[in-house]
Each structure stands twice: as C-alpha cells, then as structure tokens.
Amino acid sequence: MEHRQGTIRDFVAGTAIVAAVVWGCTSEPPRLNIHNAHVEFSEVMRDEASVYLTIVNSGGPDRLLRARVDIPGAEADIHEMRGDVMVIAKSLVIPAKNSLVLARAGPHIMVANLPQDLKVGSQFTLTLQFQRSGELQVLLEFTKPRSEPVKPPATHEYHKH
Ligand SMILES: [Cu+2]
C-alpha cells in the first residue's frame, strides 16, 4: 500500500511539471497595441462617459484587469454585457494573436463622476492595467458636446447608462 500511494503522488507531481513546461513554451509574451480609442459622453447620465477602443495583440494571451483616469474625482470601470444588462467585468481576456474590441453593445470602459466643466477638447489619460503587459496609457479627448439631459420616457423604466 505504501508503495502504491507513493506512485500516485509521483504521478500527480509529474503531471503538474509537464503542464507547467507546456504552458511556458506555448505562452509567448503578449504584444499589445491600442487603436481607435475615443470617448463619448453618456446620452443619459450627465456625469458619465464611455471609452471605446481596440486592443490588437500580436503575441501571447493577456488580460485587461483594471482601468483608471487622471480626472480628479472620476472613476473608471470595465463593463461587459450580460444579455442587455451592463455589469462590471472582473477582467477581459485578450486572446493570443487576436483583438479585443471595446464597443457599443459590447465590453467597454465606463467613466463615472465626471466634473461638470469637461467640454469638447478636454483631454485626459486613460491607464489600462494588464495581467502580463503591465500598464499602457492612452490620451483621450472629448470630441462631441454633451447632449442635453434626456427626459426618461414616460412609459419606460429609467435605465442607468
Ligand atoms: Cu457601462
């Protein structure tokens, strides 16, 4: 019995080492580039904006973990869609040799608590934190005016964002 247990333990340990070596060989470092970054004021909430961009990856897999902005008091969150509902994403996968597109009706970055004095031409820096690539920064500029606050339709429930 003693001998058999030892064999199973050795087998499990051996499997873990093989798995680690295979991961190490196939997982080249990610190479990320950010394209098409733009920011739009929310059409519904006066103190919110959405950031859309494409992360092009010519290397191994990575994950987008967090986003922040250098606007005093403002907070950035990564959102994804569950059906029609927007939820905070723990992280977003960036597949190897592929792109992650942040766009309307898909995953996006939401900036909340925006100060009221932001206008067309206002700039800020978005910092994206990745699991393997560290941090990348993007300079963004508001290019469209804030729309007037939209009155909630009488027959529909007022939906945030
Ligand atoms: Cu959102």
* Predicted structure pTM score: 0.76
In a 10 Å sphere around its CB, with 0-12 CB exposed, 13-18 middle and 19+ buried, how is residue 126 labelled?
Answer: buried
Is the residue at 21 inside a domain? no
Provide the edge-to-edge strand list for the sheet that holds 62-69: 92-94, 62-69, 123-130, 134-141
Q: What CATH number is given to the structural domain containing 67?
A: 2.60.40.1890
Q: How far is CA 66 from the centre of its chain?
A: 6
Residue 70 is part of which domain span?
32-141
- Label residue 91 exposed, middle or buried (CB < 10 Å: 0-12, 13-18, 19+): middle
Give the Cα separation of 71 and 156 in Å (integer).
33
The total domain count for the chain is: 1
Q: Let me know if residue 13 belongs to a domain.
A: no
Residue 29 Cα to ligand 1 middle (Å)? 30
22 or 148: which leads in pLDDT: 148
Is the per-residue pLDDT at 11 higher than 70?
Answer: no
Residue 7 forms part of a structural domain: no
CA of 112 to the centre of ligand 1 (A): 9
CA–centroid distance, residue 134 to ligand 1 (Å):
24
In a domain, 158, yes or no: no
Give the model confidence (pLDDT) of 90-128 as tens digits.
Answer: 999 999 999 999 999 899 999 999 999 999 999 999 999
As a whole number of angstroms, the distance between CA 100 and CA 57 comes to 8
Using the mean position of ligand 1's atoms as its centre, give its distance from the Cα of residue 143 in Å: 19
Closest by CA position to 37, among listed 83, 132, 103, 90: 103
Cα–ligand 1 centroid distance for 5 (angstroms): 53
